[in-house]
Amino acid sequence: MFGFLNIYKPVGMTSFDVVAVLRKISHIKQIGHTGTLDPFAEGVLPVCIGKSTKLIEYLASDKAYLATVQFGANTETYDIEGKIVEKFDRQINVTDIENVLKDFEGEIEQYPPIYSAIKVNGKKLYDYARAGQKVEIKPRKVNIYKIELRSFDFESQSAQIYVECSKGTYIRSIANDLGKKLESGGYLTKLVRTKAGKFGLDTTVKLEDIKTEEDVERNLLNPASYLDLRSYNLNDYECERVGHGMAIKNVEFNSGEVVILLYGGKIYAIGIAESSWIKAKKVFGVL
């Protein structure tokens, strides 16, 4: 098998749990996911099957989320799974939120949560947290391409916020930082990833609907449609050359550009363009 699955990850499972289930069903060990989701989060989780795992590095890394933020308290994990560590009496309104959201647009510096898998001195941050050890956490630059308030319930002090962002952005940190700016506290109660690169909710399949190898194969997506790269259709002669590790003539691509080499509408290889030639970097063959 060769292709992508766009799984709707359910609440309560880790991204690695999803991969384990698919390995058991498909009897394929070479399976990988792109973009970890916390167990309490749900939504778009692209999964690469078979040799398509070699294409992960070429997938677009931007993400989009619909986050539900509860104001009035902070938790130790910045989400609903953590213990409440501080409460606030201040009530906020729509205008308060909209005014503060502007501060999160563009390139920002963000401190990741202490309960995260980022490593400091070879040790994951959540290991320090669980051991009660203090560690210096350095801010990281991330890009927030779009952030907007979708809805707000004044009575419950709960808001739905839509975020489009770069790889490595912690939405939990946004919730916590938003609460700080509003002096009201804030933490995530729900998180739905609505987009990962070119994968959206419209092409997701529920994990519970994947029960057999045939289900996996039937729901595979053609990787050529999901890579943010230009492509070139090989003729029979060029296909044979690429298959034998030989270069083909470059007629339209910039030197250094990564190119999808298609044969019969499917990915045959990934090539690198040089001044006069395209050399194969990864050859998959006829799949």
Mind telling me the catalytic residues? 38
Tokens at residue 73, please?
């308290």
Helix (H) or strand (E) holding 6: strand 2-9
CA–chain centroid gap for 13, Å, is 16
As a whole number of angstroms, the distance between CA 40 and CA 160 comes to 16
User: What's the Cα-to-Cα distance from 86 to each of 45, 131, 156, rounded to whole Å?
Assistant: 33, 21, 17
| Cα separation of the two ends of the chain | 8
Instruction: State the sign of the Cα–Cα–Cα–Cα dihedral 246, 252, 256, 262.
Output: negative
As a whole number of angstroms, the distance between CA 83 and CA 107 comes to 30
Enter the DSSP assignment of 156.
T
Angle between helices 171-182 and 94-101 (to 10 degrees): 120
As a whole number of angstroms, the distance between CA 262 and CA 223 comes to 11
Partners of 140 in beta bridges:
110
As a whole number of angstroms, the distance between CA 286 and CA 179 comes to 53
